[in-house]
Structure 1
């Protein structure tokens, strides 16, 4: 099954008329031969004087305050389009990350807002301790771009200890697992990495992580992942975890879930505007997955 040209154009038009500038520039990059510089400038619009990224880079908050997670998202986006460099990481990112590193050597996931800007409730109750899902990808990018700085030693010790501590308790989070894999792909400790990847495969396979109920409107959203959340392309580390039949079935279901206005929706959003922003993020994600699998009509 493929997404028809007409339905692709409907998705394009939804993004261009409803999504944020960053999704519009990413769409242009991936589907219209866009320049990576447009993405670079869209990302840096979220940057603060302290070097961190804020301003609702994830639309669950309207606060301008810097958040570690948003700064990781900025790194991921720059890497996605090929404009991340060793110099950018060291100059524009590491001073912020080093300034918020905890005594354990890791970077927190998020901070509680100091402002009264609108935000989802989970921002107000967040635990501000060091987290695997921010520290691991940061280390992964440092390794990928051949960076060796003293900060990395204690951070890596923290990451391995966190893998051992949390085990399978968070594998349901398809936003976190790819960030762990960024580290596991690039770390020099490949023997340990291969063991951890094998553990991840077993945990995802054996504890009911994959959500089977395709009649549920929440299928594929947070807490209810499908195969494509873990294997968004055939090049994904976890791709071989799933049968061809499962991948095909999930692609078909994903295509069928497109709305009449071209979007793929979510339940996320603190306002009507941010609901559209989340839909823009989700729609772009689906289009990238379908492109990866060659499922968009030429």
Structure 2
């Protein structure tokens, strides 16, 4: 339903209130979001990642406000903050609902890819609370620790960029962005083989995974020919029934859910580059 409402918002003059109601259907009494908001697990428990996804989605459609962040989101995030000052990526599900294997062994320590976007959104909405000080120390130290280890992950990098775009320490942000650009261009990070079935999917990113629009911070990494070629191939990857597929999922049902997510992403990217007829 979230993908349907987002599609309606972006392509059919939909109302942002519809997105809000779809997102809040996943909210728990503790303020976190669960219930299989991402298809990797159907468990009802609140997850930091799902709560970040909810925050990002409301921001995407212009529904988010300072009051919503402080009242509806921060109590949960503060409740799951670790001693290091950051919030975990995921928690191991406590229920017996189906889930991907990596959920059962996930490390429940503070993570850059949840803490960074949260901080970025707090800065974007000009929020200043004590929680942010230690969290920011954690984020900068984590950038220094992991260096180039996860630049292949196009799910992580945009979340890092949310922080780097809005942090007040722009000198440090510029240095980090320059390092990211250098590491992304290392041979083997961007998948250049368009015949590869995994092209554009997790672990095999292409230029559009990093530069989802001409305004993207990383757009300058790729020349016009590369972007044009990848846009053409993205169109070619569409299936006869309209979807963009993915190999990922623990069942045929979750593969279809992921295909919905992938399809919405592809349509938004194509729209950003003016490739969809109005």
Aligned counterpart, 1:198: 178
- 1:212-291 alignment, distance < 5 Å: 212-291=192-271
- Within the candidate set 158, 177, 195, 1:178 is matched to 158
Task: Give the one of 17, 21, 28 matched to 1:37.
Answer: 17
Cα distance, 1:265 vs structure 2: 0.2
Quick one: distance in 1 between partners of 2:251 and 2:185?
A: 36
- Matched residues in 1 for 2:214 and 2:254: separation? 31
CA distance in 1, matches of 2:153, 2:218: 14
- 2:83 corresponds to 1:106: no
Partner of 1:161: 141
Q: Distance in 2 between matches of 1:90 and 1:61?
A: 27
Structure 2 unaligned residues grouped into runs of 5+: none
Q: Give the C-alpha shift of residue 296 in structure 1.
A: 1.0
**2:118 matched residue in structure 1:** 138
Classify the secondary structure of the residue corresponding to 1:236.
Answer: coil
Counterpart CA distance in 1 for 2:139 and 2:80 is 16
User: Match of 1:82?
Assistant: 62
Deviation at 1:206, TM superposition (A): 2.0
Q: Give the distance between the partners of 2:249 and 2:25, measured in 1 at CA.
A: 21
Matching residue of 1:50: 30
In the alignment, the residues of structure 2 paired with residue 207 and residue 144 of structure 1 have an alpha-carbon distance, to the nearest angstrom, of 34
Q: Give the number of the structure with larger relative contact order, counting CA–CA contacts within 8 Å between residues 6 or more apart.
A: 1
Match of 1:127 in 2: 107
Distance 1:276 1:130 in 2: 31
Give distance in 2, aligned partners of 1:230 and 1:97. Answer: 27
The aligned residue for residue 44 of structure 2 is 64
Question: Which digits, 9 at most, give the CA deviation of each residue in 1:170-219, with x for residues without a partner?
Answer: 00000000000000000000000000000000000124210111111110
C-alpha root-mean-square deviation of aligned residues, in Å?
0.7
Q: Distance in 2 between matches of 1:164 and 1:76?
A: 25
Give the length in aligned residue pairs. 278
d(CA) in 2 for partners of 1:267, 1:49: 34
Question: Which runs of 5 or more structure 1 residues have no equivalent in the other structure?
Answer: 1-20
